[in-house]
């Protein structure tokens, strides 16, 4: 029997994990096309992007591939909670019941690439870097790509999977050609990436905690340890009230960070202040689709169909869970994609829509609601220990420390979500 050719557009975490899942099944040949260059061939300092927190949903998906979770864990920092820093010095520590794995997004990609190339030969799986998707023709089952050198190629497929992010070319092509209801919205949050190094002596931030600092006007910074020496994170602000636009020099940027985030500012060098000043502002796009497939051979996963705010760190976890769920559905339908695809859309759309609500409104901006948020979190933990069947954990614990469906978490805590929504 001739292997079915699956073209995966987007060699990010979800696309690479899907390739691993499909190659463990019989009857598939995989080609991945990625717009970016091979991260393994560029200096590590050029590859830093943004930190990812892998929690139970994402780790469960990795666990299905023997040795993969362990390989990623060796490149990760074990995170046991969050420290919310405050100017008064009275920081709040929120411990986690289950530790998460913290690592840079591109480091995760490299581990997944190495796993694939170690376990499968080029006759089964090929990754084509520097290829931008230009066009999709569902009628002829062809895709057109342009290589970075300008060469254009056309490839055929039996199945196609779009894992190419919030700006998905596959989704855009479907929206142009068929009835594929989808919306993309840029939210008010914008950010710049921040990279700091811990000193050998002096002030050091806990290497097993996420560090956050929230100020007025939606100005905040989050830092995630990458081992004992490095912290990767983001400076987040409202795009309509960008406080950085009035800063013109690296000295002004350094003073701004030290004034607003004193402990973080102590770790910032003049060189990093200059780099932060020059980095582009990144916008955050959310995506909401009414189905995740087209016909019997086109599927979209992850941010391509349900990109959300990074406020609760679920984008990558949800994308990896997509892959895990799709694999289970293929098992039930014996690799019949014509049955599996609509089942996948039916099962995952309520979860994706619930995740968007949770991402947008779980954590409040109002300082009084922040205090109530902390109170609810602490009280629910106490009462849940006493009455585990009657009192559910608060939504952050359910999101981070369990694999409870997002739709169930939303149902249990709809009143809190509505309260935050009214105050937004």
Reading across the β-sheet that carries 159-162, which strands appear in turn?
Answer: 125-128, 28-33, 4-9, 159-162, 298-300, 293-294
Give the CATH number, domain containing residue 209: 3.30.9.30
Q: Output the pLDDT for position 419.
A: 94
Question: Which phi and psi angles does 402 have, rounded to 5°?
Answer: -140, 175
Structural domain contains residue 75: yes
Residues 136, 66, single domain; the answer is: yes
> Do 168 and 299 touch, CB atoms closer than 8 A?
no
How many angstroms separate the CA atoms of 323 and 61, rounded? 7
Residues contacting residue 236 through CB under 8 Å, at least 6 positions apart: 189, 190, 191, 218, 219, 220, 221, 222
Residues 254, 112, single domain; the answer is: no
Distances (CA, A) of 124 to 8, 30, 66, 127: 13, 6, 19, 11
> Do 97 and 3 touch, CB atoms closer than 8 A?
no
The number of domains in the chain is 3
Residues with pLDDT less than 70, the chain: 1, 44-48, 201-202, 228
Q: Output the pLDDT for position 217.
A: 77
Residues 57, 147, single domain; the answer is: yes
How many angstroms separate the CA atoms of 50 and 318, rounded? 17
Residues 42, 65, single domain; the answer is: yes
Residues 217, 338, single domain; the answer is: no
Least Cα distance to 326 among 19, 111, 107 occurs for 19
How many angstroms separate the CA atoms of 147 and 399, rounded? 40
Q: Output the pLDDT for position 188.
A: 87
Instruction: Look at the chain and count its residues.
Output: 424
Q: Output the pLDDT for position 46.
A: 58
Residues 387, 294, single domain; the answer is: no
Q: Output the pLDDT for position 86.
A: 86
Residues 196, 227, single domain; the answer is: yes
Cα(first)–Cα(last) distance of the chain, in Å?
57
Residues 208, 152, single domain; the answer is: no
In the listed set 250, 267, 283, which residue is the last one of a domain according to the structure? 283
In the listed set 227, 249, 283, which residue is the last one of a domain according to the structure? 283
Question: For residue 20, what are the domain limits?
Answer: 4-81+99-184+285-359
How many angstroms separate the CA atoms of 355 and 406, rounded? 6
Is 101 strand, coil or helix? strand
Structural domain contains residue 201: yes
Structural domain contains residue 86: no
């Amino acid at each position: 029997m001739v292997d079915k050719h699956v073209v995966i557009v987007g060699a990010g975490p979800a696309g690479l994990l899907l390739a691993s899942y499909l190659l463990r099944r019989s009857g598939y040949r995989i080609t991945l096309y990625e717009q970016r260059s091979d991260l393994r061939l560029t200096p590590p300092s050029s590859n830093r992007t943004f930190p990812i927190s892998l929690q139970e949903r994402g780790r469960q998906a990795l666990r299905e591939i023997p040795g993969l979770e362990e390989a990623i864990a060796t490149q990760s920092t074990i995170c046991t909670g969050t420290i919310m820093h405050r100017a008064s010095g009275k920081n709040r520590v929120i411990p986690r019941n289950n530790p998460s794995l913290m690592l840079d997004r591109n480091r995760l990609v490299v581990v997944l690439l190495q796993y694939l190339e170690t376990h499968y030969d080029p006759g089964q799986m090929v990754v084509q870097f520097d290829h931008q998707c230009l066009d999709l023709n569902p009628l002829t089952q062809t895709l057109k790509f342009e290589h970075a050198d300008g060469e254009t190629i056309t490839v055929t497929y039996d199945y196609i999977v779009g894992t190419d992010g919030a700006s998905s070319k596959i989704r855009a092509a479907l929206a142009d050609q068929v009835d594929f209801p989808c919306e993309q919205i840029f939210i008010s949050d914008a950010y710049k990436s921040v990279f700091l190094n811990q000193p050998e002596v002096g002030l050091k931030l806990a290497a097993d905690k996420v560090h956050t600092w929230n100020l007025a006007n939606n100005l905040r910074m989050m830092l995630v340890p990458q081992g004992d020496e490095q912290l990767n994170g983001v400076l987040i602000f409202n795009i309509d009230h960008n406080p950085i636009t009035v800063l013109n020099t690296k000295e002004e940027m350094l003073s701004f960070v030290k004034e607003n985030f004193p402990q973080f500012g102590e770790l910032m060098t003049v060189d990093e202040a200059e780099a932060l000043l020059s980095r582009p502002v990144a916008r955050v796009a959310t995506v909401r689709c009414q189905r995740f497939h087209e016909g019997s051979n086109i599927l979209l996963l992850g941010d391509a169909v349900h990109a959300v705010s990074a406020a609760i760190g679920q984008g990558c976890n949800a994308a990896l869970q997509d892959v895990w769920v799709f694999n289970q559905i293929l098992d039930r339908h014996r690799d019949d994609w014509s049955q599996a695809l609509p089942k996948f859309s039916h099962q995952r759309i309520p979860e994706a829509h619930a995740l968007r609500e949770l991402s947008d409104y779980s954590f409040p901006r109002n300082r009084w609601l922040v205090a109530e948020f902390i109170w609810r979190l602490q009280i629910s933990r106490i009462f849940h220990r006493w009455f585990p069947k009657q009192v559910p954990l608060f939504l952050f614990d359910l999101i981070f420390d369990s694999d409870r469906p997002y739709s169930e978490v939303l149902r249990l805590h709809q009143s809190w979500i509505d309260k935050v929504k009214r105050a937004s």
